[in-house]
Structure 1
Amino acid sequence: MNRQGNPAVLAQARRRDSLDKRQRALTALTALERDDTKITHAAVARTARVSTWLTYTDGIREHIQTARHRQATTPPPPPTQGTPTTPAGLRAELHLARQEIKELRQERDRLRDALRHQLGQQLDTLHAPDPTHRVDELTRNNHQLADQLQHATEDNAALRHRTASLEEDLAAARTSLRRMIRDENLNQ
């Protein structure tokens, strides 16, 4: 055994802690349903003092969905006479309603983004050209450019040859002109 502890003991402690949290969540769900309090993942997590993430895990989520369905299909009890609504109760209900609205807005935004992404992908596939036509087009363009390059290279070589010939002619004309000027100067 090492100084940090036995891994089996640590794993067992984590399992006990996980089971305890799950049991607290189920107990809180039962209490909320019994008290006819609106059941949400946040309300169960708050009542059980666990993370909201835990309420979305398998084994808990199904119970919450079932309880929410039962709560939605069960008609509300008639209001009892003489039971005043307290400001604290109204504040708690308002807080829960705001939290649920916030969660619903986040879910709406996630769904909207997912739908937008999916529609964008569908539009991309609809308007995408057939790859074989694009390859054929690029191949034709490549051949045309190769032909143009070959013609330009041949023209360039011919122009260089012509330029060299003209430079030789110019040099010969200058030499001839110098001789003529020298001969003319000598004759005078």
Structure 2
Amino acid sequence: MSGRGKSAHVLVEARRLDSTRKRARALTVVDQMVAAGEPVTFAEVRRRAKVSNWLVYADGVREHIDKARTQQILKPAHDRAAGLSVSAISLKTDLELARAEARALRQERDQLKAALQRSLGHQLDQLGNADLVARIDELTVAAQRLTGERDEARAETSALQLQVAALEDDLAASRTSLRRMIREGNLPPQ
């Protein structure tokens, strides 16, 4: 075999080995996706296996992908037949049970609310009128004290406002006097 024939044979073998590896990688990706329960698509297999678009549609790979897709489509019907998935009747039953539980919880909540109201009413009844009158008297005294303090604060505020007004008048007069003195001081001597 000549050098040229030998190198061509080596290139053909390398290409065949590369093609075999890529096909194996694509098939492995399909199997992994099926095992993980992920939807198998030609584009996703191509992307994950990092192979060409042509390869995923090539004989041997395309059939494997089609078979995986068919299995995934038929899986819900198979699971229902085998009792592995939840049926519509089972879901309706669960919904009815949940609704019944919600009704029972609402009823219990209403009963507890009524019991709390009765308990609070009973506690209020236990407080004698004398206690309530004493509390009202305390609050009345506190209100009168606060009213007196408020009136004193208002009177003090009024006095302070008058004092501020007088001080502002004095300040204005001082400024006027100062301006006059400055003007007279800036005039040339006569």
Task: State the structure with more CA Rg.
Answer: 2
TM-score by length of 2: 0.38
TM-score by length of 1: 0.38
Structure with a larger share of its residues in helix:
2
